[in-house]
Amino acid sequence: MIEIKDLHAKVEGKPILKGLSLSIKPGEVHAIMGPNGSGKSTLSAVLAGRSDYEVTSGTVTFFGEDLFAMSVEERACAGLMLAFQYPVEIPGVKNVYLLKAALNAQRKARGEPEIEAPAFMKLVREKLQFMKIDNSFLHRAVNEGFSGGEKKRNEILQMLILEPKLVLLDEIDSGLDIDALKVVAEGVNSLRDAGRSFLMITHYQRLLDYIEPDFVHVLNDGQIIKTGDKSLALELEDRGYDWVVEETA
């Protein structure tokens, strides 16, 4: 699904990613862990196409296409979604309006007709219920005055409606209590299937108890230095990152 080869990227002139390679096949769930400043969030920002991140070398193909030749919205319409660590507030724009505009933009890109209002509302209500979110949520401005947990649930709600192919979950567990974490994890798990992949960025093993990964990678100083299965995450939780860094030094 996505092939990242020898990726180098800078932020404000400072190299952050230094030769990162990663391949994700359909249906796989990958987790990326690593100390602060290792480049985890830079990776998701570069893949989603933030303009303040400069790719200096390397390639990324998404479904065989050159990802860097695509605009932000083209990447989104091709099925790449970033669930943000800090979802931004957009005053005055209703949640339901953003959801509908996004869904229709993506449908249009796929050559599908716009969704009819009743079908859309039915879909949204169903997903709201699943995410244990009150209907009034729809008429509030996007993320405005939302608690940390509500913001994260809103990201997952968007995911359930847009049904992306590859989801980048950037510290989706940060700021969540255990009940909210369960709801978020249920949302993610409900979308897991043979054609959809996830890349989770997290600090904590806790998330992986609820969303079980196929692979766990350790990112350090802009490179993946170790790959393992779920047990690697447990080991990291237990022993920290230093031993991995020393082992590969």
Partner 1 sequence: MANEEMEQLVSSEYKQGFVTDIESYTLPPGLDEEVIRYISSKKKEPQWLLDWRLEAFALWKEMHDPQAWANIGYPKIDFQAISYYSAPGAKDKNAPKSLDEVDPKLLETFEKLGIPLHERAALAGVRGVAVDAVFDSVSVGTTFKKELAEAGVIFCSISEAVQDHPELVRKYLGTVVSKTDNFYAALNAAVFTDGSFVFVPKGVTCPMELSTYFRINAANTGQFERTLIICEEGAQVSYLEGCTAPMRDENQLHAAVVELVALDDAYIKYSTVQNWYPGDEEGLGGIYNFVTKRGDCRGDRSKISWTQVETGSAITWKYPSCILRGKDSVGEFYSVAVTNNFQQADTGTKMIHLGEGSRSTIISKGISAGRSNQSYRGLVKILPSAKNARNFTQCDSLLLGDKCGAHTFPYQEIGNATAQVEHEATTSKIGEDQLFYCMQRGISEEDSVNMIVNGFCKDVFQELPMEFAVEAEALLNVTLEGAVG
Q: Which of 6, 65, 112, 114 binds partner 1 (CB under 8 A)?
A: 114
Minimum separation from the CB atom of position 69 to partner 1 (A): 16
Minimum separation from the CB atom of position 247 to partner 1 (A): 36
Using CB under 8 A, which residues numbered 130 to 159 contact partner 1? Answer: 141-142, 158
Q: Which of 9, 8, 90 is nearest to 52 (CA)?
A: 9
Is 163 in a helix, a strand, or coil? coil
Stretch that binds partner 1, among 95-103, 146-154, 190-198, 240-248 (CB under 8 A): 95-103
Minimum separation from the CB atom of position 92 to partner 1 (A): 3
Cα 97 to Cα 115: distance, rounded to the nearest angstrom: 13
51 scored as a contact of partner 1 (CB under 8 A)? yes
Minimum separation from the CB atom of position 70 to partner 1 (A): 12
180 scored as a contact of partner 1 (CB under 8 A)? no
* Own/partner pairs, 15-20, CB within 8 angstroms, 24+ separation: 15/56, 15/222, 16/42, 16/222, 17/42, 17/43, 17/46, 17/58, 17/222, 17/223, 18/221, 18/222, 18/223, 19/58, 19/222, 19/223, 20/58, 20/219, 20/222, 20/223, 20/224
Residue ranges that bind partner 1, judged by CB under 8 A:
48-52, 71-73, 75-77, 81-82, 84, 87-88, 90-93, 97-98, 101-102, 104-106, 108-109, 114, 141-142, 158, 162
